[in-house]
Structure 1
Amino acid sequence: MTTMKARDLIEAAAKDVYVVPNPFLDLLEDGRVPRDRLAWLAGEQQWILKSDQRSFALLAARFPESLAGEMFLSLSGGEIEAQRLLIAYGDAVGADEAYLQRYEPRPMAQTYPAFVTWSAVNGTLSGITLAMIANLGIWGAYCARTADALVSRYDLSEDAVAFFRYFSEAPPGFQKQATAAVQAGLDAGEDPAMALRMARAMQAYEMAFWHSLAEDL
């Protein structure tokens, strides 16, 4: 049986998973998101970052092969750096350390990291990696829009939006590493249909995060 090529699977995922209308960002770009929601964004992100840091470390332990293991460890380290950058954004929107410590996350905003954790335990290598390839492009586009709107509409400094600039592009070398990891999973006999299913699910949970922030606005 001929093994499916990673690039073909990535192309198939791109047809299923793409940037869609984002009501929160539409409001943000119009300057209609109240300041308390900007603080929510910091609060939700601190929970997501800490969860993803652990999930990526778990993935590195599950898939320690050089390329995959290195990729997941790098992503885990990236979450640590992002937590540092989030501090400046939080301070700029009234979400200081005390606010973040008492912040209660909204369940629907946390479905994305919950799925990443599920994937770290139960998912396939090709599935979680394909999902991240597809999602990072979407998340990156949303982060770029967020940073631009916060600067132009809310007068935040570039230092304050460095968190969103950080995520606006994929980490250096990620695409090459991720493509190799997808291929390794497929070569091991993993089901490409499962990989596509995981990619579609991750986008749905990504959008649940943004819809939660826009609720009742």
Structure 2
Amino acid sequence: MSGDGRKLLAAVRAELAPRDDENELVPLIADGTAPRSVFAVLASEELRIVPSDWRSLHTLAARSDEPAARSYFGGLAAGEEQALATLGPLAQEAGLTPDAVRDHEPLAGCQAYPSYFAWLALNAAPAEVAVAITANFAAWGGYCAQIVRGMRTHYGFSPAAMAFFEFFAEPLPDDAAVAAIQAGLNAGTLDERRARRYARLFQAYELMFWNTLADPVSTASAPS
């Protein structure tokens, strides 16, 4: 038997869920106790992460033998391109000039996630990556929704500055991901143990991203 892609995705999400609340930054933004300077660092890091993830997704699409996987990763890449266009207003309202963005020294704890994603894009079976990234989407979207509420309530950002987080706060249907995962199961190219490992590490690196930004030392030199 090849297995059921939708059930596998649901099972991996359930396995990750207990750690979703280990995000130390998002609750601070939600209740308005995070310094406004954190948005400058966040924007600077995302301006490096999004283009990297865009390339990783295109790499995965190019490496995919199954049409469903090519379509899935290609669609996600298009979304990253849309999201990148929304980061300018966030950076500007967070107090960043183009020179400040250029001169920002990336934080290792923030850049671990896209670095691992790039490794997966080159080394992992695409269907296994589809399990890993999709399993984390629900938590990422939930974080973004909380950030939007916090930005609106406590920080006075404009709708344009919140657009990046609003874009990702909208949940994606699972159908395209499930089709890619199922194609991998049917072709025998998806190892469930590896997919779970990749998902666990993805979650760990994402939490590292947020918790690095929650460290006061990380935001001490950002514009206020």
Q: TM-score range by the shorter chain?
A: over 0.9
TM-superposed CA distance for 1:55, in Å, is 0.4
**Pairwise CA distance, 1:67:** 1.8
| Structure 1 residues 56-114: Cα deviation after superposition (integer angstroms, max 9, x where no partner) | 01011101532211221121121111111011111111123222111111011111111
Letter in 2 for 1:178: A
Q: How do residues 34-73 of structure 1 correspond to structure 2 at under 5 angstroms?
A: 34-73=35-74
- Answering whether residue 118 of structure 2 is matched by residue 123 of structure 1, we say no
Alignment TM-score, normalising by the size of structure 1: 0.93
Q: How far apart, CA to CA, are the structure 1 residues paired with 2:137 and 2:98?
A: 28
Instruction: List aligned pairs for 1:61-210, cutoff 5 A.
Output: 61-171=62-172, 174-189=173-188, 190-210=190-210
Is the CA contact 2:40–2:94 (under 8 Å) kept in the aligned structure 1? Answer: yes
CA contact (8 A) 2:36 2:155 kept: no
CA contact (8 A) 2:69 2:127 kept: no
Secondary structure of 1:31's match? coil
Which residue identity does 1:29 align to in structure 2? Answer: A
Contact 1:87 1:96 in 2 (8 A): no
Q: Is the Cα contact below 8 Å between 1:126 and 1:192 reproduced in 2?
A: no
Aligned length: 214
C-alpha distance after superposition, 1:29-71 (max 9, x if no partner): 2322223221000011111101001000101110153221122
Partner amino acid for 1:176?
D
Consecutive unaligned residues of structure 2, counting only runs of 5 or more, are 218-224
SS at match of 1:161: helix
User: Please, what is the CA RMSD of the aligned residues?
Assistant: 1.4
Alpha-carbon deviations, 1:93-149, whole Å to 9, x = none? 112322211111101111111111111011122221011211111110000111110
Q: State the match for 2:220 in structure 1.
A: none
The runs of 4+ residues in structure 1 deviating greater than 6 Å are: none
The 1-side partners of 2:94 and 2:5 are apart by 42
Structure-2-length-normalised TM-score: 0.90
Q: Quick one: distance in 2 between partners of 1:216 and 1:154?
A: 18
CA contact (8 A) 1:111 1:209 kept: yes
CA distance in 1, matches of 2:130, 2:27: 29
User: Are residues 1:13 and 2:19 paired?
Assistant: no
Q: Percent identity?
A: 36
